[in-house]
Amino acid sequence: MIKLKLGLVFLAAVSASSAASAADVARSRFGKLPDGRNVEAITLTNSRGAKARIITYGAAIQTLIVPDRNGQMADVTLGYPTMEGYLAKSEYFGATVGRVANRIAKGRFKLGGRTYQTPINNGPNALHGGTRGFDKVLWEVVEVKEGPTASVTLRYVSPHMDQGYPGMLTTTATYALGDDSNTLAIDYYARTDRPTVVNLSNHAYWNLAGEGSSESILGHLMTIPADHFTPVDSTLIPTGEFRRVEGTAFDFRRPTAIGARVRNADQQIVYGKGYDHNWVVDRRIAREPRLLARVEEPTSGRVLEVLSNQPGIQFYSGNFLDATIVGKAGKLYRQGDAIVLEPQMFPDAPNRPQFGSVRLNPRETYHNRILFRFSTSAAR
């Protein structure tokens, strides 16, 4: 009898310990769309205190809370406190962007001998899938899980010729936060019923000092392990060239403050009003995620590493944040208050064969795996 009681006590202790260390999921209402449909928020939390809130509008990261080197928690991604902000001026905060992330020249591309036209929404070009891309639609929650890894899977079915793109595309986005590390993993999968083009990514804005901090990102130390980038024309469409970073403002092969050269009179910086370019880490999709960028905020010690199986990363230095948006902390978002790091195939790839193919055929599966891995560095 004593042995049985001891055994039950032991099992209860193990169960309690497992529950305490498990990552949790909570669901709540975030707001409503104009047509009355509810927008949900799914919050993933691990025992280290890291917390990611995902909303079903745009399958977007609305909050990402991680500790600094002293254990102080802060929300490090930009966003709105309520649904009304996302509807008024989205800015792609934390959103899933597609069908084709980044820009397509004049919104046109050829596929199978036919020319397709997508909406023009960025100067003379198409950006992030069009006027109603994947960032501006309501995704369906298809699965939530808790345990060693907490996750939510969302789905959106884009009909044939949605925003001018051929094929019915079924896309899922799975966000996962493990209990063993402060890593938010995103898995984008897509399948089509006819040939189309696909290039999905996430458009989170990061400030490792905190989204309401008075510190800009100019002092963040950036590392991008790329020997080349793709220069652009005055409308931010790639010229087709692979240009070496050596000797330019685009050389981040060693840790460099983002603000060190962002005011250089380099014509590329002039075109983008800062950085808004694609770095070429490789020319091919990899089997497993590899490091595309590392960012460190020296004061807090927070470090963000971005890994993906994709070959390129778009680095945007928040050039068009213009102090017209009030964020979650009640502060204005100004130019240079955040950076965006989007793992992707290269911009305008549908029109640039040398950039690699973004074509997706029936019975094929598109996959972009992204890891946002957070840690801390020692004081310098």
User: Six-digit token pair at 94?
Assistant: 């934390």
* Helix extents (H) in 259-301: 267-272
Calpha distance 195→111 (Å, rounded)? 8
**Distances in Å between the alpha carbon of 156 and those of 39, 191, 375?**
14, 11, 32
Rounded distance, CA 92 to CA 293, Å? 20
Of 102, 119, 156, whose CA–CA distance to 351 is shortest? Answer: 102
- Measured CA to CA, the distance from residue 125 to residue 102 in angstroms comes to 10
Catalytic residue among 91, 296, 297, 342: 342
Residues 6+ apart with CB under 8 A from 371: 183, 184, 185, 186, 289, 305, 306, 307, 308
Residues 6 or more apart whose Cβ sits within 8 Å of residue 205:
77, 78, 79, 91, 93, 94, 211, 318, 338, 339, 340
**What type of residue sits at position 22?**
A
Cβ–Cβ < 8 Å for 366, 200:
yes
Q: 160 an active-site residue?
A: no
Tokens 């402060």 belong to residue? 182
Question: Is 288 in contact with 309 (CB distance < 8 Å)?
Answer: yes
**Hey, what are 18's tokens?**
């497992």
Phi, psi (5° rounding) for residue 234?
-70, -15
Query: DSSP 3-state assignment of 99?
Result: coil
Tell me the residue type at 28.
S
Catalytic residue among 40, 128, 203, 220: 203
Helix or strand run (H / E) with residue 51: strand 51-55
Say whether 203 is catalytic: yes
The H-or-E segment that residue 17 falls in is helix 2-21
Residue 133 DSSP class: -
Instruction: Give catalytic residues, as residue numbers.
Output: 203, 342
